A and B are shown apart, each in its own frame.
Chain A
Amino acid sequence: MRVALFITCVNDLVFPRTGRAVVALLERLGHEVAFPEAQTCCGQMHANTGYRAEALPLVRRFVEVFADYEAIVVPSGSCAAMVRDTYPRLLPEAAAVAARTYELSELLVDVLGVTDVGAHFPHRVTYHPSCHGLRMLRLGDRPLRLLRAVAGIDLVELPDAEQCCGFGGTFAVKNADVSGAMLADKCDRIAETGAEYVAATDNSCLAHIGGGLARRGVRARAVHYAEILAGTP
């Protein structure tokens, strides 16, 4: 299958290794990845911060750039939710493209029908379900099913996993103190698991969590789950 990759602006600049992992993973599974270079940002930050007028051109742009692809994969639950959940409400003609847009675990499990992607990752890992994937996309246990099938992984449960990490986009700076308090609790729960890695579907949450872990000297490192799924012996 030919799959278009929407990398997201944060991954493009700060976490390119997540994009490389998605490409490696899909190619390993025998699929073709296309990267439309005209893509920029989905507009989520603007739309969610009260700048709908500024977000709309970005919505239109996404719809144009990805109009001809039968499946679009996004290695971010919140950007995928922006496209699938919010786009049709902002721009009715975006509905068709929105319906063909998938977060990575949806593409793998629902569209490509695979849970064992042949990965190998001999480490103790805990998983934080990011909010928009959990509650807007209803990813359920898809990411966990993929992770459980990874060879060598020691997957441990994260206490209070479904509580928000406190990132929340511009919330992290507009309400920095509350965000920091939520982060402190999340870091404590991660530390309790003794995991080497905390995985999630979203690098924005992981930048926040990873930054908190580094600040506290907790040994767990934040890693996008695509990078675990791309891992081979």
Chain B
Amino acid sequence: MSNPLVGNRPFPRAARTALRDAQLRANLRMATGTIRAKRAAVVSEMDDWEDLRAAGAAIKADVLARLPDLLVEFEAAATAAGAVVHWARDAAEACAIVADLVRETGATEVVKVKSMATQEIGLNEALAAVGVEAVETDLAELIVQLADDRPSHILVPAIHYNRTQIRDLFARRMAAVDATALTDDPPALTAAARAHLREKFLTAKVAISGANFAVAQTGTLVVVESEGNGRMCLSLPETLISVVGVEKLVPTFADLEVFLQLLPRSSTGERINPYTSMWTGVTPGDGPQNVHIVLVDNGRSHTLADPVGRQALWCIRCSACLNVCPVYERVGGHAYGSVYPGPIGAILSPQLTRGGDPSLPYASTLCGACYDVCPVKINIPEVLVHLRQTLRHPVAERPAMRALAWVMRDRRRYAAALRAARAGAAPLRGLARRRGGTTVRRLPWPLSAWTAHRDAPLPPAQTFRDWWRASGRPQA
């Protein structure tokens, strides 16, 4: 099975393929532009937004600093409330635990709440391998599942589809749908999905969820959602299994106050999300009577050990950084090869996988837009640069970068290099002049990567330092 956190092609090559898809780019521009504007509007109305961000970051930093203690506290509280807590080192262990729990119930179909943790561990595929069908009930996840596709966004996994494409998909894959009557009107599409899912909710014996937050003090799990499908899954079936990354903890119930303000405004651009479900173990006679919680590490301890990189674990999966990223907007999520795409994916995936695709931390111009919108102030550019330091460099690049640094270390070598570059450009300057410009259209490799997309400027006949000397100004 392929790793849900690592693609089969380096980012630049996967991106090139994505860039050729004009429909994809149009869909992405439309969708990210809309959600960016919504977020900006609801964030700008908050006087204390910066204080909330600082509080969010501080709580997350505190959680990571005493994670082992908080995990034990959570386990004790959840167990006391009637839940069964399981511990999984990695994706394989987590999948095996869930598969065993489902098999014990005898169910061959489970309903799912949208969850990044289960995407990350490849749970649907693992369940299919033991004869259990996992039905995604979030509308966008359902679209992706019906299309046999992969999610391309953390919050809106079907962001790469427009409504005409979704109409065609529903007409083809939903047995009960009248294919000729279905329009691409959003309410009509929603109604079709609702009818399709309602039967699943009412017959399911097992539900599988993730959690946005886990409260150490009380053993409470929290799911934040928009469609109500989550509430159905969390309240109707007899058995509820929740897969939770160990970094999802918050110390106390009161800490949720900060995140329940930060998350909806950053993710969907709403002041408050429609459904916030919280449950603490088992309530006799009400809701699921078999409640399991699978706490997953899967590379998080490794990430936690890195003093700079660990801030990636503060992430609350809002996806504001995706929506604002100029790179993501051009290429979409699949190019990142991981279930975590975009800027956060570029720092999270390589750390969780201890390497993964080494080109991912370079999938950014370091423009900093992601850092500005992050509700928990993850300094994504800082971590990107840090990871570039730790990953292996392309073979041809290292000697060139070393040579350049050697030149720059000495004023005479530097001045000589400037003279050489200026002299080397002289014939090109002549050519450009005859064409009536100052730029050159084609340069040999490796500079051809530059001139493939834009003209290159040429050094003029006199460097600045030569001019300074010639101007008679004092030398310093």
Residues of chain A touching chain B, judged by Cβ–Cβ distance below 8 Å, are: 4, 7, 9, 11-17, 19-20, 23, 33-41, 43, 45-52, 54-55, 57-58, 61, 131-132, 134-136, 162-164, 166-183, 207-208, 210-212, 214-215
Beta-carbon contacts under 8 Å, B293-324 to A? none
Q: List 25 A-B contacts (CB under 8 A).
A: A7-B465, A9-B414, A12-B464, A13-B422, A13-B464, A14-B457, A16-B462, A16-B467, A19-B468, A41-B414, A46-B405, A54-B401, A61-B409, A135-B367, A135-B368, A168-B364, A173-B446, A174-B359, A178-B327, A179-B365, A182-B330, A183-B453, A211-B439, A211-B455, A215-B454
A212 with B453: in contact, given A13-B418, A178-B15 (CB under 8 Å)?
yes
Partner of A171, one of B364, B409, B410, B411: B364
A162-B325 Cα distance, complex, nearest whole Å: 11
Write the nearest CB–CB distance from A47 to chain B, whole angstroms.
Answer: 7
Q: Across the A-B interface, give the 5 residue pairs with the lowest CB-CB distance, nearest first.
A: A168-B365, A211-B454, A50-B388, A180-B453, A54-B405
Distance of A125 Cα from B35 Cα, bound (Å)? 30
> B259 contacts the other chain (Cβ, under 8 Å)?
no
User: A43, B408: Cβ atoms under 8 Å?
Assistant: yes
- The answer to whether B408 and A41 touch across the interface, beta carbons within 8 angstroms, is yes
Residues of chain A lying within 8 A (CB to CB) of residue B463: 12-13, 16
- Is B16 engaged at the interface, CB distance under 8 Å to the other chain? yes
Q: Give A61 to B411 CA distance when docked, in angstroms.
A: 10
Interface membership of B11, Cβ < 8 A: yes
> Cβ of B441 and Cβ of A51 under 8 Å apart?
no
Q: Give the total number of A-B pairs whose CB atoms are below 8 A apart.
A: 198
Residues of A within 8 A of B390 (CB): 50
Measured CA separation A39–B476 after assembly (Å): 10
In the bound complex, do residue A208 and residue B418 qualify as a contact, i.e. CB atoms below 8 Å apart? no
Given A168-B367, A214-B455, A7 and B449 touching (CB < 8 A)? Answer: no
Query: How many Å lie between the Cα of A15 and that of B19 in the bound state?
Result: 32
Q: How many whole Å from B226's CB to the nearest CB in chain A? A: 28
For the complex, give the distance between the alpha carbons of A211 and B449 in Å. Answer: 13
Given contacts A58-B405, A135-B369, A170-B362, contact A35 B454 (CB under 8 A): no
Q: Mark B327-341, 1 if CB is under 8 A from A, else 0.
A: 100110000000000
* A208 to B363 Cα, complex, angstroms: 18
Return B117 CB to nearest CB of chain A, in Å: 29
* In the complex with contacts A40-B414, A135-B371, A178-B19, A14-B458 CB distance below 8 A: yes
Nearest CB of chain A from residue B250's CB, rounded to whole Å: 29
Q: In the bound complex, how far is the Cα of B401 from the Cα of A43, in angstroms? A: 11
Within 8 A of A (CB), among B409-426: 409-411, 414, 418, 421-422
Q: Which residues of A contact B326 (CB under 8 A)?
A: 163-164, 166, 182
How far is B14's CA from A177's CA once the two chains are assembled, in angstroms? 11
Choose from A55, A169, A214 the contact partner of B366 (Cβ within 8 Å): A169
Not counting A46-B404, A179-B453, A214-B454, a sample of 19 additional A-B residue pairs whose C-beta atoms are within 8 angstroms of each other reads A4-B476, A13-B464, A16-B463, A35-B475, A36-B476, A40-B410, A50-B391, A50-B393, A51-B389, A52-B389, A58-B409, A131-B369, A174-B362, A176-B12, A176-B450, A177-B12, A177-B453, A211-B454, A211-B457
* Contact yes or no, B456 A51, CB < 8 A: no
The smallest C-beta distance from B373 to any residue of chain A, in angstroms, reads: 11
Minimum CB distance partner of B460 in chain A: A16
CA of A164 to CA of B369 in the docked complex: distance in angstroms?
Answer: 9
Contact A40 B15 (CB under 8 A): no
The residues of B that contact A41 with a CB separation of less than 8 Å are 408, 414
* Residues of B bordering A, CB below 8 Å: 11-12, 15-16, 19, 25, 326-327, 330-331, 359, 361-369, 371-372, 385, 388-391, 393, 401-402, 404-405, 408-411, 414, 418, 421-422, 437, 439, 441, 446-447, 449-450, 452-460, 462-468, 473-476
- Interface core residue of A14, A37, A162 (most chain B CB under 10 Å): A14
Chain B positions within 8 Å of A23 at CB level: 468, 473
Question: Are the C-beta atoms of B12 and A48 separated by less than 8 Å?
Answer: no
Establish whether residues B368 and A132, one from each chain, have CB atoms under 8 Å apart when the complex forms: yes
The answer to whether A180 and B385 have CB atoms under 8 Å apart is no
Residues of B within 8 Å of A7, CB to CB, are 464-465
Q: CA–CA, A100 to B288, complex, Å? A: 63
Tell me whether A175 and B366 are in contact in the complex, defined as CB-CB below 8 angstroms, given that A54-B401, A182-B326, A212-B453 are known contacts: no
Pair B457/A54 contact, Cβ less than 8 Å: no
Residues of A within 8 A of B468 (CB): 19, 23, 35, 37
**Taking A11-B464, A135-B368, A178-B327 as contacts, is the C-beta distance between A171 and B362 under 8 angstroms?**
yes
- The answer to whether A57 touches B405 (Cβ under 8 A) is yes
| A104 to B: closest C-beta gap in Å | 15
Contact between chains at A207 and B411 (CB < 8 Å): no
Residue of A nearest to B441 (CB): A215
The distance from the CB of A62 to the nearest CB of chain B, in whole angstroms, is 10
Q: Is A166 a contact of B365 with CB atoms below 8 Å?
A: yes
Cross-chain contact A40 with B411 (CB below 8 angstroms): yes
Closest to A4 in B: B476
Nearest-neighbour CB distance to chain B for A209, whole angstroms, equals: 8
Contact of A181 among B19, B449, B452 (CB under 8 A): B19
Most buried by A among B326, B391, B411, B468: B326
